[in-house]
Amino acid sequence: MLGRLGSGGMGRVFLGRSPGGATVAVKVVHPHFAHDDEFRARFRREVEAARRVGGAWTAPVLDAGPDDDVPWVATGYVAGPSLSDAVAEHGPLPEETLRPMGAGLAEALAAVHGLGLVHRDVKPSNVLLTLDGPRLIDFGIARATDGTASLTASGASVGSPGYMSPEQILGRPVTGAGDVFSLGAVLVFAATGQSPFPGDSAPTLLYLVVHEEPQLHGLTGELGELALACLSKDPAGRPEPAELVDRLTAGGEAAHLVRPGWLPPPVTEQISRRAVELLAMEAQPAAAPERRDDGLPSGPVPLQQAEYGPGAFGPPPVLDGTAPGAAAGAGAPGAPPADGAAAAATPPAGAAGAALGAAAATGPERRAEVGLRSRRFSCTLVLSVAGALAALGLGLFLVPGLLDDGGADRPQAQNPTGGNSAGNGNDSGNEDGAGGSGGAATDSPSPDPTKTVDSVPDRFLGTWNGEVLQDNGVPNGRVSVEIEEGGKGEYVAYFDYSLYDVAHCYSRAKLTAATGGSLVLREEDDPARKNSEGVCAPGTSEVTLTHKGGATVEYRSDAEASGNPRATLRKGGG
């Protein structure tokens, strides 16, 4: 267990890691539900059904313990804020966000209804926003509370009063139309920042839902019409999820609307911050296990060197927050993996969090592993703290102060003649390496950009900077490269990948080929400079720099795992 995420009407939610390396959310049911035999039977049946739920807009159920003393269920962890948090912090969402969000949620409901399930708790806090689309969570779990979904003798209700359908509140049979009602309320909240049934107490909210017409708070146009149709008191008058998808996408599907930039920039940054927080949590070294009286070590379970996969997830912690103990074995710090697996392929040198960014950009089903010192861990992104993870590859909008800047100046290359390489004077320098007093540099004729050369052309010399993007347009931070004189097989370029000046990953590169207008470099870790802890992975990649004329160079890397990053570099500036 890595920490506690929160709590709700059903139970507490913890962040954990499976033996297979997956980041998971573990929901531990409140004890009073555990004593209800009917609840347990429904929970068991619906968890099994929920295992079949998949697709781009849900978090998969990985494992569960319906028969444990305290029932629990583990789902894939999605890196991203809830809709309720995003709106509270950043305000209502624009239409270009509302349409793909609504369509994605409607597609998720259509898929689940097709399995004979009803969500029964669609609300803003059960909608997560990620870089590659929305996620609807808690499938199958709300259905397990069917026997207590209406008001109980004590007046308590399992659900969210402002988002429950009238029939659910009244204890009548609930169908998929109830989820559509809740989705309509969610759309109004996302668009306006207010519930369609505003009230300051549960009884007031329940009364308004059953007896009063919804308030759209100025939401007009097609979105207002759709929300109003969803909020019909009559279940038969509400549209089907497929109809919602069709109208929100103009006859297409949600995936066509989810593209880079579908979320407002402040929400994108929030997602990335959460991803970095998880990354920092994962990077904490495991404490040395304590010894028990029987001679077996106990204490926190160390991160294991294991492949990502749907491994069985053990029992969650007891509700007092005590973490389960575990015997140290092959997974202990410094020990080899139990299965003897070789280290996973790693992102290119200097690519901080590159594998995380790739997972974020390709959706929850893609997993990437990051090599880190003597261990590796994997994350499920959307940029998964949220699939976590939601990182931005190199550009993880890091929280200031979260990661130490372990940067160190690169030793300056020595000028064997002691002269000023930029000058064209005749002084050769003195004995202690002081530069000569050569005159100012003069422009030299541009070399033939197609002619093969054996060394770095003068036009590339100097420092180049620029913002990096993945090939799908997702920002990837900033890169600075200093290019020096040298020939094939020599180190001629030194890279600094900056995570918004909070963390740095350093690399160096040998010249492998060159023309008058391009350089091909083999990039690797730079042992002379210390990377920021917990964000950089070793490895190599091929980088191509193409001079575009003037003071502009095009940067491209073949690092597929980090999104084939590219950048337009400018000499001496951004």
Q: Is residue 139 within 8 Å of 157, Cβ to Cβ?
A: no
Question: What is the number of structural domains in the chain?
Answer: 3
User: How wide is the angle at C-alpha 352 spanned by C-alphas 348 and 354, nearest 5°?
Assistant: 60
Pick the last residue of a domain from 256, 272, 292.
256
> Over the range 265-288, which residues count as b (16 or more CB within 10 Å of their CB) and which as e?
eebbbbbbbbbbbbbbebbeebee
Q: How far apart are CA 512 and CA 499, in angstroms?
A: 28
Look at the alpha carbons of 144, 146, 149, 154 in this order and tell me if their dihedral is positive or negative: negative
Same domain, 96 and 239: yes
pLDDT reported for residue 533: 61
**Following DSSP, what letter does each residue of 196-265 receive, concatenated?**
SS--SSHHHHHHHHHHSPPP-TT--HHHHHHHHHHT-SSGGGSPPHHHHHHHHHTSS-GGGT--TT-S-H
CATH number for position 467: 2.40.128
Judged by DSSP in three states, 48 sits in helix
Pick the last residue of a domain from 256, 271, 305.
256
pLDDT reported for residue 19: 78
Please check whether residue 330 lies inside any domain of the structure: no
Q: What are phi and psi of 33, to 5 degrees?
A: -75, -30
CATH number for position 36: 3.30.200.20
Same domain, 160 and 92: yes
Q: Is residue 140 within 8 Å of 117, Cβ to Cβ?
A: yes
Same domain, 12 and 91: no
Q: How far apart are CA 433 and CA 419, in angstroms?
A: 8
Please check whether residue 113 lies inside any domain of the structure: yes
Positions in the chain whose pLDDT score sits under 50: 140-142, 144-158, 283-444
Same domain, 43 and 112: no
Number of residues assigned to the chain: 574
Please check whether residue 444 lies inside any domain of the structure: no
Q: How far apart are CA 29 and CA 46, in angstroms?
A: 14
pLDDT reported for residue 569: 95
Parent domain of 543 = 458-571
Please check whether residue 547 lies inside any domain of the structure: yes
Same domain, 54 and 91: no
Same domain, 53 and 148: no
Please check whether residue 336 lies inside any domain of the structure: no
Same domain, 112 and 184: yes
Same domain, 71 and 97: no
- The pTM score is 0.52
Same domain, 71 and 88: no
What are the residue ranges of helices labelled H in 70-138? 83-90, 95-113
Same domain, 146 and 238: yes
pLDDT reported for residue 474: 64
Please check whether residue 392 lies inside any domain of the structure: no
Same domain, 70 and 115: no
Same domain, 113 and 155: yes
Q: Is residue 505 within 8 Å of 526, Cβ to Cβ?
A: no
**Cβ burial, residue 119 (10 Å; 0-12/13-18/19+):** buried
**Which residue in 505, 512, 509 sits closest to 479, CA to CA?**
505
Residue that has been written with the tokens 């190599």 in this structure: 540
HSE-CB for 324 with a 13 A CA cutoff: 12
pLDDT tens for residues 360-410? 333 333 333 333 222 222 222 222 333 323 333 333 322 223 333 333 444
Active site residues: 121
pLDDT reported for residue 249: 95
CATH number for position 148: 1.10.510.10
Distance of CA 554 to the CA centre of its chain: 28
Distance of CA 17 to the CA centre of its chain: 16
Q: How far apart are CA 268 and CA 274, in angstroms?
A: 10
Please check whether residue 202 lies inside any domain of the structure: yes
Please check whether residue 566 lies inside any domain of the structure: yes
Pick the last residue of a domain from 76, 97, 119.
76
Q: Is residue 501 within 8 Å of 482, Cβ to Cβ?
A: no
